[in-house]
Amino acid sequence: MAKLVFDIETSALPVECFDEAQQEYLFREADKLTDPTAREARRTEIQHLFSLWPLTARVVCIAMLNVETQRGQVLFTADDYEEDAVEDGPVEFVPCVDEVELLTAFWDVAKHYDGIVTFNGRGFDVPFIYLRSALLKVPITRKDWLGYRYSVEPHCDLADQLTFYGVSGREGAARRFNLDFYCKVFGIDSPKAQGITGMDVARLLEEGRYRDIAEYCLRDVRATVDLYRVWKERLAGLK
């Protein structure tokens, strides 16, 4: 069965995108604080969280690879979207005019795969792109990726598998770590080794460094592919 590994990068929408009632709702918790410094600090914290929520953020990049062939694409929004797609080995970097074009191209690829592999895709990537696609009226070609949690078909979420579905809670033997930590302990090149993390996406967007975001997202996917192979060879099938 052909499997697709993918990862997304997101960026918060400006506060000005939301009307007065929406802003009151978003910052209600902060605005209850009486201390001005604490209130402003909490508002800043909440605004940083915008990038995690599909109703307050947008998808700016999706990287994807075929597990078997290592061929794939990186779709990313860019001001210089009129440039042609560029092939870098088996991977094609494709600039998109906007999020609609990006998501449309992603779903066109996704329909050709039987299953997907992610790291925390069940908790973040999949619901995020489902909701963004719905908001933007982009047809979703695979609507079964959130199916039965305790199955690796059609969605193998390594964050679930490496914690055995949270069997030991937050602090037990199978507690959850981030992708960077898993990569290092299993001897896999960390996607953060070149000094860029997801926290840098907003800054890189402001600086127009769209290709840097795309390459970072691809490193996440390559690391996920390697971690999937470790899981499949050493842990898959445990009951």
pLDDT in tens, 206-219: 999 999 999 999 99
Cβ-proximal residues to 20 (8 Å cutoff; 6+ apart), any chain: none
Mean pLDDT to the nearest integer, 37-48: 96
Residue 141, sorted as left (phi over 0), alpha (psi -120 to 50) or beta, turns out to be alpha
CA-to-CA distance for 75 and 224, rounded, in angstroms?
Answer: 18
Q: What is the mean pLDDT of the chain?
A: 94
- Render 50-96 in DSSP notation, one character per residue: GGG-TTSEEEEEEEEEETTT--EEEEEE-TTTTSPPEEETTEEEEEE
pLDDT the model gives residue 179: 95
**Is 48 among the domain residues?**
no
Residue 191: the pLDDT is 87
Q: What pLDDT is attached to residue 84?
A: 66
Domain that holds residue 139: 3-18+56-234
| Cα dist from 235 to 110, 163, 180, 226, 228, whole Å | 26, 11, 19, 14, 10
* Domain-embedded: residue 91: yes
At 207 the pLDDT is 94
- What is the model's pTM? 0.94
**96 within domain boundaries:** yes
Say what the pLDDT of residue 82 is. 66
Band of pLDDT at residue 102, cut at 50, 70 and 90: very high
Nearest Cα to Cα of residue 145 among 137, 134, 157, 133: 157
- CB contact set of 95 (below 8 Å; sequence gap of 6+): 76, 77, 78, 80, 81, 82, 83, 85, 210
CB 73 within 8 A of CB 53: no
Q: Measuring CA to CA, which residue among 80, 74, 126 is closest to residue 105?
A: 74
The CATH number covering residue 94 comes to: 3.30.420.10
In a domain, 153, yes or no: yes
DSSP 123: I
Which helix (H) or strand (E) is 120 found in, with range?
A: none
Residue type, 67: V
Convert the pLDDT of each residue in 119-165 to its tens digit: 999 999 999 999 999 999 999 999 999 989 899 999 999 999 999 99
- The distance from CA 54 to its chain's CA centroid, rounded to whole angstroms, is 11
Residue 17 predicted with pLDDT over 90: yes
Q: How many domains does the chain fold into?
A: 1
In this structure, the strands spanning 57-66 and 86-88 are unpaired
Q: Is the residue at 51 inside a domain?
A: no
Judge whether residue 68 has pLDDT over 80: yes
Distance of CA 36 to the CA centre of its chain: 34
Cβ–Cβ < 8 Å for 219, 195: no
Cα separation, 28 vs 174, whole angstroms:
36
39 located within any domain: no
Checking if the pLDDT of 172 tops 80, the result is yes
**47 part of a folded domain:** no
pLDDT greater than 70 at residue 52? yes
Residue 95 lies in a domain: yes
CA neighbor of 199 nearest in space, from 89, 51, 67, 91: 51
